A and B are shown apart, each in its own frame.
Chain A
Amino acid sequence: MQFPGRRKKLIGSSQNDLYDHCLQFYGQPPLENISLTEFETFAVERLKLLKTVENLGVSCVKNSEQYTKKLDAEISRISEYEKRRKDHISHFILRLAYCQTEDLRRWFIQQEMDLFRYRFNDLHSKHKTDFLHKNNLKYETVSAEEKKSLQDKLIASSYGLSGTKVEEHDVYKVPFQDALDLVRTRKVYLLAGNAYIPHHEIVTIVLNDFRTRLSKALAMTARSLPAVQSDERLQPLLSHLSHAYVGQDYSIQKNIGKISLEQIDALSGKSFPLCMRHLHKALRENHHLRHGGRMQYGLFLKGIGLSLEQALQFWRSEFVKGKVDADKFDKAYAYSVRHMFGKEGKRTDYTPYSCMKVILSNPPSQGDYHGCPFRHSDPELLKQKLQNYKVSPSGTNQILELVKGMHYQLACQKYFELTHNVEDAGFSLNHPNQYFTESQKLLSGGRDIKKEVDMSQRSQENPASVTRPSQANSKQIFLDEIQELSDPS
């Protein structure tokens, strides 16, 4: 593999030196040649791994026992050297595919970070120190006197810290900008702009470093991309890879204009997921929604097929019933509706939010109605709401159990099953528009039974084993696998 502009020969590197640690920062790209087949299969396997990391991150608490066990199970058993070599190469291949847009980069960085964190935590203490030394990560340690004077404060701010631990182990002092994850969750002591990190939390700092490096590297990769894309063997492969992670993003509008505004009230009860039903109700009652709610609901409506004209009419008619007159609406709010449809400013055609986005970003505060009700509502209020919507008590309890276990998307799926009166939703929910489409499909005459049987058979195949196809068919088979990754239903 050749990366334009970067030719550092590793002097005197034997097999052993190159992969002498199971974990790396991916500072140097691989320099060997590999076959096209290896290129394809390595990339697909890493992508599968990252997708698994993503899914586990939503369905389990990260770094819990359950999470670690499951991730262990996914990592296949081949020789240590082979594993590390594959890890090295596949990471760089995926960089090519995921450097191109802000969204792709963000996703890739997030999953690679989670994977890295899992593997770093798995390391023996000695190996952790080895890793720090090998990568020249020197963090300033706090003097014994300072430790003593801050002891109580340190214990009160960091998880799992005791008096003895503070005395015996190093505490590191880094600028707060290097410990953002700990700052954000207030899991660290801050003084005069410095974060005081106990030894066992060093992973968070290392992760920050990892993220910064990867972010810079992706930006650089994006600049060298045109040269790579001109290789016609790689171009279709890379473009398929980058579409695989997100599956359907509902950015391309189908059925524009098939929904009329009069239908929305009825649809909100029948086919909207709870979050959108909630937003719609709030809009009808208050004749207003704040920015977060307008974005989440507005983009969803775009996804189900509302045209720009319909959307403008919809929002205007509602806001005008409230405190906003038609004039003010046109000045202040119409712009943002057009913005959503890509008709203003950057002209980006915004994509409707996936469940992941709704659950993880922009939590609602006072006066907001957006977010995921399973994630953001008080269980008591959620229970009441479900009862109002005529969900059975046993069904409600099932949902609340799932919420307690932080399985928000599964809870929503259960809500789907209960409100549509089916045993099995038949799909894996990850997008509000998907909920709508599946609901409409069901209500208008059901799905193909045969297809369901086929799918359950497919999912029983061992995903870890990858047969090496002959050269002639390799490209075709590979594209099939990519297809499967993007459309698991």
Chain B
Amino acid sequence: MMPTSDYDPACLPDLLPLYYRRLFPFSQYYRWLSYGGVSKNYFQNREFSFTLKDDIYVRYQSFTTQNELEKEMQKMVPYKIDIGAVYSHRPSQHNAVKSGTFQALEKELVFDIDMTDYDDVRRCCSAADICSKCWTLMTIAIRILDRALREDFGFHHLLWVYSGRRGVHCWVCDDAARKLSVAARSAVAEYLSLIKGGEETVRKVVLSDPIHPFINHSLSVVERYFCQYAIVEQDILGSKESVDKVLALLPEDILSFPVVLSQYHIKKGGQYFDKEIMLQYCYPRLDVNVSKGVNHLLKSPFSIHPKTGRISVPIDLKELNTFDPFEVPTISLICEELERPRADEAEDDDVKDKENEQEAGERHYKRTSLAKYVKVFDRFLEAMARSRKGEMLQKSDLQKDF
């Protein structure tokens, strides 16, 4: 169970306005979604959707400047924020556009890993609950997918974000990724899918010769974590019920011929049962539908999760092994930190006052636990900026433009 004793959803109406006035990192957010201003109107044509108080849901929100975004968010005080696609026209004016011509053009390639999809293979929690024992599944998922998206697909700019409750999201922000068609997105998602079948399928992973290099890479990640995760933490061999579940993944006849097991392997070529079992327990489960649609709306980074109060923060992959979802700051925590004078402030009072005057509303998150996560986001933005610069230099070199 997630300890949320500090956070009370009833306080949201008071906390959210403060969050949007003083803490939400608007300038980084705008910098991200403008993508260097390379494409005209990229930010202006982006759809946002808000869920307001009392579950009122509004789509096709769009903004012309960072300032307008800030003002509107401070006015509407959304409980949830989703980011959609970049359209052919300003989403807020979509009704004025001739029917059929208003189209979603580009969007980041996204992935949503949700812990509920692992309910059939985790014993510690179910549904919306998570704990440190099953969080390893997210670590495994991130390692496998991050490697594949970079090495196999050649993407460079990946933003991994904690969803705020029970999963993680990945935003692939490369230019090429944003331009992918529906068919391409669906193909990428299927390439990355190994778990097939719903309630009616017992054996969800079937491997056959030859084993694709992608599967081998993924297996080596799973094998690194399997013993600690499945045997120790999940204790899958610890009760008859769970042992039976494991045995159900083996073909019936293997159990009645233990003596000729080695011959059996050769005959059936089925030497992959151990790999299949490990994958079924640990391999990432994606919702292909989330990744497929160009116009699909996904929870925005730095938005709040109303049920837990946690902020959807970027995850630093360099510190992945020590990432703890229960350490992620809640809105009540950071609002409280904002009010509290910090220990080191006394010495720099003059400097701080000046700064606050000049940049009111811009740097207040720096006084809170949110700061380190905004830094992760900054580094991500820097990398994209460097990459864009590199491309422009390449282009101008080609044109002999010095």
- Chain A positions within 8 Å of B, measured between CB atoms, are 153, 155-157, 176-177, 180-181, 183-186, 189-194, 282, 291, 328, 331-332, 362-369, 371, 373, 376-378, 380-382
Contacts and interface: CB of A to CB of B under 8 A. Distances in A.
Interface in B272-295: 285, 287, 289
Given A177-B184, A367-B117, A378-B201, A185 B213 contact: no
Given A183-B191, A331-B55, A156 B213 contact: yes
Given A184-B186, A190-B152, A381 B202 contact: yes
B199 interface: yes
Contacts of A367: 116-117, 119, 198-199
A153 B187 CA distance: 20
15 contacts: A186-B190, A186-B212, A192-B152, A331-B55, A362-B289, A364-B197, A365-B198, A365-B287, A366-B120, A367-B198, A377-B200, A378-B197, A378-B201, A378-B203, A381-B202
B257 interface: no
Contacts of A331: 55
B176 interface: yes
Contact of A378 (B184, B202, B210): B202
A366 B195 contact: yes
Nearest to B201: A378
B188 A155 contact: no
Contacts of B152: 190-193
Contacts of A363: 196-197
Contacts of A328: 55
Given A156-B213, A332-B55, 5 more contacts: A156-B211, A183-B187, A186-B190, A189-B213, A291-B289
Given A194-B154, A376-B197, A376-B201, A177 B117 contact: no
Nearest to B117: A366
Contacts of B116: 367
Contacts of A194: 154
A184 B188 CA distance: 6
Contacts of A364: 197-200
Name, among B151, B181, B210, the residue most crowded by chain A CB atoms within 10 Å (CB to CB). B210
B198 A190 contact: no
A377 B202 CA distance: 9
Contacts, number: 108
A193 B202 contact: no
B328 interface: no
Nearest to B154: A193
Contact of A368 (B183, B186, B198): B198
Contact of B214 (A184, A190, A365, A373): A190
B306 to A, nearest CB: 14
Interface of B: 55, 116-120, 151-155, 176, 180-181, 183-184, 186-188, 190-191, 195-203, 210-216, 285, 287, 289
A193 B211 CA distance: 20
Given A190-B153, A376-B198, A365 B117 contact: yes
A308 B151 CA distance: 50
Contacts of B199: 282, 364, 366-369
Nearest to B181: A177
3 closest Cβ pairs, A-B complex: A193-B154, A364-B198, A184-B187
Nearest to A345: B59
Nearest to B200: A377
Interface centre among A157, A185, A186, A192 (most CB of B within 10 A): A186
Given A157-B212, A371-B198, A366 B153 contact: no
Nearest to B54: A331
B154 A192 contact: yes
A348 B92 CA distance: 22
Contact of B155 (A193, A366, A378): A193
Contacts of B119: 366-367
A386 B118 CA distance: 28
Given A156-B211, A183-B187, A190-B214, A176 B55 contact: no
A191 B117 contact: no
Contacts of B202: 378, 380-381
Nearest to A177: B184
A191 B212 CA distance: 13
A365 B285 contact: yes
Nearest to A382: B200
Nearest to B287: A365
Contacts of B190: 183-186
A332 B55 CA distance: 9
Given A365-B287, A369-B198, A381-B200, A155 B151 contact: no
Contacts of A381: 200-202
B196 A378 contact: no
B250 to A, nearest CB: 13
Nearest to B180: A177
Contact of A376 (B184, B200, B216, B289): B200
Contacts of B285: 365-366
Nearest to B153: A193
A176 B181 CA distance: 12
A10 to B, nearest CB: 33
Nearest to A371: B198
B223 to A, nearest CB: 18
B91 to A, nearest CB: 14
A376 B196 CA distance: 9
A366 B198 CA distance: 4
B151 to A, nearest CB: 7
